[in-house]
């Protein structure tokens, strides 16, 4: 069956010109002449039978069809590029593992340990990206992910890694203002976007009423919450294992050492189709061996 696919040279020229809205800048990036890029765009328009570019007041702009096509072409070219890199990486290797991890977990816990993974499996190439929330594996070039929450990722295998204990932390200066645990209810409570009930659960566990437990500035990443607490913006409720360094260095103060076990856990998750993928299984074996005994 014939495929209606333009030449890749035309698509690349169009994508580059669409990003710059300039044939001249596109030519510089592609190491071509301005005329060559313009001809490639014209060939593509002839093939499609649709105008993609217009000139208004000597400025190059995309037509409505051009805007929509440019978005789709950019995504497809990126996917082709990533697929090409991944295939090339298979050369003389044990495979590639594209892993999505929680940003702060990745920086503070996972990456410091990856030298041991590389030593154990030098033939596996591990690529890291960050994701805060669950996503559709079918729409992302990701083989597995580190997830925190409940084991309810549809269509995926979920391997529990570990739980966590959370405790309040703040700057040294703010800590001097906190004499009783009830004082925390009068403080600015720093919130994490994906854990909106964390403070409410903590106050409930320690037996203190706090009507404003859901109030306070919200941050998308735990690393932002850590920095906000260190800067004296309020009190943060943090997983203990993620702030041990800051506490040891005196950058964060623990006003009350009431660590409460979180009802949720960390999981290694991957689509069922990857359950026998060698790189995924090697990483699973390694990370389970890195975890503290329950």
Predicted pLDDT at 292: 75
CATH of the domain at 278: 3.40.190.10
Strand runs labelled E in the chain: 53-56, 59-62, 95-101, 124-130, 144-149, 156-162, 165-169, 189-192, 218-219, 235-239, 260-261, 265-271
CATH of the domain at 23: 1.10.10.10
Within a domain: residue 199?
yes
CB-based contacts of 58-63 (< 8 A; 24+ apart in sequence): 59/21, 60/17, 60/21, 60/22, 60/23, 61/21, 62/18, 62/21
Residue 157: helix, strand or coil by DSSP?
strand
* Shared-domain flag, residues 203 and 127: no
* Shared-domain flag, residues 184 and 158: no
Predicted pLDDT at 294: 46
* Shared-domain flag, residues 63 and 103: no
What is the β-pairing status of strands 59-62 and 53-56? antiparallel
Domain range for 69: 8-90
Predicted pLDDT at 132: 86
* Shared-domain flag, residues 250 and 192: yes
With tokens 């409460």, the residue in question is 260
Within a domain: residue 208?
yes
User: pLDDT over 70 for what percent of the chain?
Assistant: 95
* Shared-domain flag, residues 219 and 144: no
Q: Provide the angle, in degrees to the nearest 10, between the axes of the packed helices 8-20 and 23-30.
A: 120
Within a domain: residue 2?
no
Predicted TM-score (pTM) above 0.95: no
Each residue's pLDDT tens digit, 101-135: 999 999 999 999 999 999 999 989 999 999 988 88
**Which of 38, 61, 90 is a domain's end point?**
90
* Shared-domain flag, residues 78 and 213: no
Count the domains in the chain: 3
Q: Give the DSSP letter of residue 69.
A: H
The residue-averaged pLDDT of 150-169 equals: 93
């Amino acid at each position: 069956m014939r495929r209606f696919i333009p030449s890749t040279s035309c698509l690349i020229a169009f994508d580059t010109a669409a990003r710059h809205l300039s044939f001249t800048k596109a030519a510089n990036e592609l190491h071509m002449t301005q005329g060559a890029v313009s001809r490639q765009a014209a060939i593509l328009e002839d093939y499609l039978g649709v105008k993609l570019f217009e000139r208004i007041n000597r400025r190059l702009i995309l037509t409505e069809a051009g805007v929509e096509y440019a978005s789709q072409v950019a995504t497809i070219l990126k996917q082709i590029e990533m697929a090409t890199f991944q295939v090339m990486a298979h050369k003389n290797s044990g495979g590639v593992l594209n892993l999505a991890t929680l940003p702060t977990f990745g920086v503070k816990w996972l990456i410091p340990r990856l030298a041991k993974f590389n030593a154990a499996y030098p033939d596996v190439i591990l690529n890291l990206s960050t994701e805060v929330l669950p996503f559709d594996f079918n729409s992302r070039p990701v083989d597995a992910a580190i997830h925190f929450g409940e084991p309810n990722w549809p269509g995926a295998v979920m391997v529990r890694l570990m739980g966590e204990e959370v405790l309040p932390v703040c700057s040294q200066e703010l800590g001097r203002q906190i004499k009783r645990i009830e004082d925390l209810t009068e403080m600015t409570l720093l919130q994490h976007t994906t854990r909106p009930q964390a403070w409410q659960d903590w106050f409930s566990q320690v037996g203190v009423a706090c009507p404003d437990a859901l109030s306070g500035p919200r941050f998308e990443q735990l690393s932002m919450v850590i920095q906000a607490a260190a800067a004296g913006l309020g009190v943060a409720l943090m997983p203990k294992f993620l702030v041990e360094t800051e506490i040891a260095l005196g950058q964060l103060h623990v006003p009350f050492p009431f660590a409460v076990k979180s009802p949720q856990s960390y999981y290694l998750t991957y689509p069922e189709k990857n359950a026998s993928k060698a790189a995924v299984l090697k990483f699973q074996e390694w990370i389970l061996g890195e975890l503290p005994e329950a």
